[in-house]
Amino acid sequence: MLIESSTHTCIDIRPGYERRLAFDIGGLHSLEQILFNKMFLFNSVYHHHKIRACECMMKTIFEIINDYPEESGNMKFKSALDFLRTNDERILSIETKRDSLLYKHIRRINNRELLKKALVISSKTIETSSAVDFKDLIKIDENHDMIRLLREVISERLGSDCDVYDIWIDLPKPPPFSEIPHTMIKLTDVEYIRMDEEDEKFQMHTWLQAYLKTRWKGHVFCPPYEDIQRKKSMKLQEMSFLRFMNLN
């Protein structure tokens, strides 16, 4: 129903020499619903903690392959082509020694032993005297060396029952709204505007801010064993996690 109402308000226009679609101002609510649904889709599917945990577990395997290539028969992933030459079935069926790190983490995935939440990072869980800019917080995830260092610090302070490959810090990117700046709105038969040119009218910039404040969540994951999980959760809170990120 939403798609049908949206297509009825789409118009083919040619601003200058460029042919493109526009939304009639009367159908703006349909476009807003699509964008709202996109936000909730990210929150309930792509940013669900179990999905994020699975992604972190797969990253662990590639990290171990990179750190200890001998455990995977000297597999290498140095370029995009290397990833195209393999698939998840091949990765999850690598023949390696049963006492190796790689075997332990592949076995966890095959047995559905997903990582568990040791700490949730959100506007509801952060205790700080100053406001946290979530955009800056999320950018930390792009610094792989920084994330690796934080994981090493956490694993060292937690003791010998875990290593850096058991800990993951996940700070997912918010839903992309790259289509908004290019969306044309028909005001009259001769007047068209871009949504980003009239941001005060459409208030699209506030959507992402609201998502970051109310829906976005980052996590620190640990192995799925209750005693370890409980210990890590308590220890992480004592360590004032955000202090390591220099956000306060």
- The span from the CA of 170 to the CA of 56, in Å, is 8
Tokens of 19: 């042919």
pLDDT value, residue 94: 85
Is 153 or 61 the better-scoring residue by pLDDT?
A: 61
| Mean pLDDT estimate for the chain | 77
> Among 37-41, 46-50, 107-111, which is the least confidently predicted range?
37-41
CA angle 29, 31, 33 (to 5 degrees): 70
Averaged pLDDT for residues 85-101: 85
Tens of pLDDT, residues 174-220? 887 776 666 777 777 777 777 766 556 666 667 777 777 888 889 99
pLDDT band for position 13 (50/70/90)? low
pLDDT above 90 (res 168): yes
Residue 14: the pLDDT is: 54
